[in-house]
């Protein structure tokens, strides 16, 4: 989300308010915005991530942040409690934003090795 004339991010707005700095406006920008929480498709160990730069080049995408760490175990929802990362996008319409998020997600490829069971 963006606010005010200077396109301030929500995080900046919260911090400015917390430290008592002046805030010009609380009004949101008119653009649509969205985030995709990248789901973990299968349990295992994350070995590789490719396509991040290609995903960042999709028109409307602001950032692609992979938060999962290589060589760490992954557990998908509902048993798990995390995501592979996040894709953020903005555009003129909600449909354009959704399209950008889906296109960016299609660029990503995650290599996840199956974990051997502990006996």
Listed residue (63, 90, 68) closest to 81, CA to CA: 68
**pLDDT recorded at residue 26:** 64
Domain-wise residue ranges, the chain: 1-29, 31-113
Give the gyration radius of the chain's Cα atoms: 18
CATH of 31-113, one of 1.10.3430.10, 3.30.70.990, 3.40.50.2300, 3.30.470.20: 3.30.470.20
* pLDDT tens, position by position, 54-85: 999 999 999 999 999 999 999 999 999 999 99
Report if pTM > 0.85. Answer: no
């Amino acid at each position: 989300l963006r606010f005010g004339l200077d396109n301030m991010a929500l995080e900046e707005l919260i911090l400015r308010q917390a430290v008592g700095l002046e805030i010009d406006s609380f009004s949101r920008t008119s653009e649509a915005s969205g985030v995709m929480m990248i789901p973990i498709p299968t349990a295992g160990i994350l070995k590789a991530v490719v396509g991040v730069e290609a995903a960042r080049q999709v028109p409307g995408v602001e950032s692609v942040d992979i938060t999962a760490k290589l060589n760490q175990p992954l557990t998908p929802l509902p048993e798990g409690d995390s995501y592979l990362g996040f894709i953020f996008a903005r555009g003129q319409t909600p449909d354009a934003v959704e399209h950008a998020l889906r296109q960016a997600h299609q660029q990503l490829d995650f290599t996840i090795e199956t974990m051997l069971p502990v006996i």
